[in-house]
Amino acid sequence: MADFFPGRADGQPGLALFLNAGDPPLEVLVDVLVALDALGVDCVELAVPFPDSVTDGPVIRRSAARALAGGVGLPETLAFVARTRQLLRRTRIALLADWRFSLKDGAPDELARRVADSGVDGLLVHGLPPRLRPAWQAAVEAVGLPVVGTCYQGVSTPQTMAMAARQATAYLYLVAHYGRSGTRASNGFASLAATITSLRGLTNAPIAVGFGVTSRADVAAVAAAGADAAIVGSATVATVERSLANRSDVAAEISEFVCSLQQPAPATNS
């Protein structure tokens, strides 16, 4: 199984970025992923674009609309991963697919095989109905596909958190607060510490925190709360949006943004 956040061993917080496949266009996105890999970004959550997400704010919704207008769906996303994954030495790809828009009409075992065969390192199924979870769990286990589990601070019941923790084999995504992406909890990330401590006893998977993470200070705060990694979504997508609007180099713009998030390298004695 891939270690999604190997930097934890050095005391550095892991970093995951969210992007929609097709925004920027796939021929540009490959350069973005190669640049992120060179910068040591641990993971890209690559979403198969889908419309009208109730959990996403306007930035990510506009991104999905641009990608869908470009004709990117599940087949195009999997083909992109298949030809791009071999270019990456460090960065893992966690695929996010919406059940209703991308997976509803397929059999779980066939879809899980297609996803695994593309070379992705993990799968997060968005909006999966509870009645279908056993079938999907069996399907991904059968093909050895690591799972990204998800739970929500302050909303998920203890039973839901325990189930998500048990099923997570890639990493456990703890959403910092219930709401739309691009927003943050008024009390910051320190209040997550007790939840993270509790989850530690339920899973061996690393714990990553997202929603409201936009700066180096936020990444540090997430790490201080005990998480293994921070997930940066809307701020990453907003960088893409500005670059596309300005017709600038998307890979260069995102690289600059990532450098602003990363912890400075420790000083060495000369």
Whole-number Å distance between alpha carbons of 125 and 147: 9
What pLDDT score does 231 carry?
Answer: 97
CB count within 10 Å of CB 51 equals 10
Domains, the chain, with CATH or none: 14-261 (3.20.20.70)
What pLDDT score does 13 carry?
Answer: 87
Whole-number Å distance between alpha carbons of 116 and 78: 9
What pLDDT score does 261 carry?
Answer: 94
Catalytic residue from among 56, 121, 218, 253 = 56
37 tagged catalytic = no
Element containing residue 209 per DSSP (H, E): strand 207-210
Catalytic residue from among 45, 218, 241, 253 = 45
Tokens 């601070």 belong to: 153
pLDDT truncated to tens, each residue of the chain (270 aa)? 468 998 665 667 899 999 999 999 999 999 999 999 999 999 999 999 999 888 888 999 999 999 999 999 999 999 999 999 999 999 999 999 999 999 999 999 999 999 999 999 999 999 999 999 999 999 999 999 999 999 999 899 999 999 999 999 999 999 997 655 545 555 678 889 999 999 999 999 999 999 999 999 999 999 999 999 999 999 999 999 999 999 999 999 999 999 999 866 444 444
What pLDDT score does 186 carry?
Answer: 53
What pLDDT score does 63 carry?
Answer: 97
Query: Burial, 208: exposed, middle or buried (Cβ in 10 Å; 0-12, 13-18, 19+)?
Result: buried
110 tagged catalytic = no
Q: Any alpha helices (H) in 85-224, and if so which ranges?
A: 108-118, 133-142, 158-167, 193-200, 216-224
Contact 209, 227 (CB under 8 A): yes
